[in-house]
Each structure stands twice: as structure tokens, then as C-alpha cells.
Amino acid sequence: MKILILSTNTGGGHNAAGNAMIDALAELGVRAEMVDSLAIASEWGSKTVSGVYASVARHSPRVFGAGYRVVGKLSPKHGHSASYALNLVNIRRLEEYIFQTAPDAIITTHVFSSQALTHLIKRGKIGALTFGIMTDYNVTLFWEETRLDAYILPHPDLVAPYIAKGMPAERLFPYGIPVTPQIAPERDIVAAKQAYGIDPECKHVIVAGGSMGAGKLPRTVRALDETLPSSVVISAVCGNNAAAKEELEAMGNPRVRVLGYVSPLNAFLASADVVITKAGGLTSTETLVQRVPLIALHSIPPIETDNAAFFQARGLAYNAKNDEKACRAAVKILYDPNVQAGMLHAARQHIPKDASRRVAKLIVNSVEHGKITPPEK
């Protein structure tokens, strides 16, 4: 059995979901390969799209949010969106790649690759079963334009809104966002702290900005430094944001650990008493899967701000509007056991740990039966 995963480099979360599926399928003895669908069509196009996305999201998140909303309002009620049309550029290259690869199933982790795949499905060019993995806790634009065999939703509460957008109920599987199955069933925070050279007796706060290092990391770290007791260790994960890393290193603060791109991030998150990050679907899920209290801050609108609102409404996270409120929330979480207990209870209720394994079993069982067939419980 051969599985092809189509992802894009617009943020690290889509690739993280793909890698989680590679790990989960490998546990079942199934080989999976992940490629950037945009790069297949055009290497230059992929770099341009990912570069523009990273730059706008990092430096002008409100512009990104405004543009996203405008695109949503301008999308036609009938016919295809501009996004759909753009993803058909050099579609023959993707068609040829899939033909040569001859997969038994295709997984997409981004709506762009799903739109391109839909075009090939409509033309009768795809014989494999197709699965779309949604990586945000909201109704994301353009999924309703796609025609895949099955869709993996992050949460049961998203089923009804997607049905309202016209997606078939029988194709929606609210299994959760896949994270690597290598995450331990129960984290050992003492061992995790020791693995990263952190005194287990010290509280540890991680501030992260996703793979792009988005947000205002230096400002947030300064606010935490002024608010938290001196015994609290602060780690700043800057991702690919070299400027933020350089600014934080220049502070020369001995209790602030400054890091660049951390891989695997999930292992480092296990060492935290609190994680403060923008509400990207994957980093947030990796945090909550490990039952680490989460504070959403400087989330990129509207997708991540919607994620943050979703989390707060269910008691999964604090949705902090600014650094000051994030600091207050951190103090509450660190020193109020009742607050910690409430957040951990919510995480157990809403965020499954076995999503990647459930999705892998669905895919393998469906391929074996030649149609979408959920495995018996």
C-alpha cells in the first residue's frame, strides 16, 4: 500500500500534520511520502507563495486578515473562486506526478492542494481514495469547493457548520487534528525539564511564534520578565525569525532561554508549565494533546483568532488580547491549581490524543475495502 501526502509550505502546521500521518501509517506498516503540491507545479511559485505568506503574517497580520475576509466576501456563490483557478496553474505536472507515483490513497493537508486534486477528480484522472485533513478549529474558506472522499475535522462542533456550507455529512469525520503518535500518552514534566537542562523545581513558560516566529516575541518576553517571579524560566522559541532571536539574545537576560527553530517542538512543549503562542492549529493541538495549559496571544486573524475564540469558549485556553493580560493569565495558571485543573479537564474532553492513529486506520481500512470504511471500534 502506498500513500501520497500533498502539503504546502504556507506555515509549518500543514507539514506537521503530514509528518504525523507518516508516523501513524508507519506503525501500520504502510509507507507514505509527502510532497509540496505547489512546488510540483512550480518551485518558484511555491517559494513565492510561502515567502509572501510568511512576510505578511509576521509583519502585517491585520493586512492578512483583511485580505482573507475580502477574498471570502468576493468568492462567487456559484462557480469557482480565484483561489481554485490559481491552483490549476501547471496542473498537468501534478497529474503526471500522481500518475507516476500511483498511490492507493492521497491525503491533503491544505485547501490549495485539495482544490487542485478536486479538478483532477472531476476529470476522472484520480483512481485513488482521497482524504482532506483540516488543521484549524473553524470553517476555513474554499473547502466547500472540493470533492474529496473523506474529510478529517478537528472537532465534532465543526460538523454542522461545514454541512451548512454544503459539504456531505457522510464524508465528515471529526477525529481531531493529527499530531505525531510518538507523543507520550502521559507526559513526564520532570523528565522533560531535565532533558532540556531546566531545574524541575522551577516553573517553565514557553513563548512561541510558530515556524515563522510571528507575533511580538521580544515584547512579550519583556512583559513576562517584569511580571513573573525570578525563579520562573522563560524560553522564547523564535522559529525562523532571525531578527527576533537576535533582539532577544541582545537582552542578555540569564533566565531567558532564546531558541531558533526547534524540532521536534512537541518534545520541548512537554517541559512547559504554560505555553504562550499564537493560536495556530498544530502548535496549539500539540500543546493541548500533552495537557499543557495554553495562552493564545498575537494570533493572526481571522483563522488563528477564530481558533483562539474556539479554545476559550470551551475552557481550553486563555485568549489574551495583549501582553499584560497574557502575563496575568500566566500567573493564574502557574499558581492556582484550580485553574490548572479546569484547563486540563477541558483538554481531556475536547482534544483527543489518538487522532493520527484513528485517521491512519480509516485510510488503511478504506483502501482495503475500496471505499471509505471506518474501522470497527
Please tell me whether residues 46 and 94 are part of one structural domain.
yes
**Mean pLDDT confidence for 293-313:** 96
For the chain, the average pLDDT equals 92
Please tell me whether residues 34 and 153 are part of one structural domain.
yes
Residue 375 lies in a domain: no
> What integer pLDDT is reported at residue 157 of this predicted model?
99
Q: Which of 95-99, 240-244, 295-299, 328-332 has the lowest mean pLDDT?
A: 240-244
Please tell me whether residues 339 and 365 are part of one structural domain.
no
Q: What is the CATH number of the domain that holds 275?
A: 3.40.50.2000
Please tell me whether residues 56 and 16 are part of one structural domain.
yes
More confident residue, 53 or 267: 267
Please tell me whether residues 212 and 255 are part of one structural domain.
yes
Residue 44 lies in a domain: yes
Please tell me whether residues 169 and 232 are part of one structural domain.
no
Residue 60's SS3 state is coil
The domain in which residue 264 lies consists of 189-350
Number of domains in the chain: 2
Give 261-327 as a 3 state SS string.
CCCCHHHHHCCCCEEEECCCHHHHHHHHHCCCCEEECCCCCCHHHHHHHHHHHCCCEEECCCHHHHH
One DSSP character per residue, 175-212 reads: ------TTS-SS--HHHHHHHTT--TTS-EEEEE-TTT
Please tell me whether residues 214 and 168 are part of one structural domain.
no
d(CA 69, CA 106): 30
pLDDT tens digits along 83-92: 888 888 889 9
Residue 374 lies in a domain: no
User: What pTM, to 2 d.p., does this model score?
Assistant: 0.93
Please tell me whether residues 198 and 120 are part of one structural domain.
no
Please tell me whether residues 8 and 91 are part of one structural domain.
yes
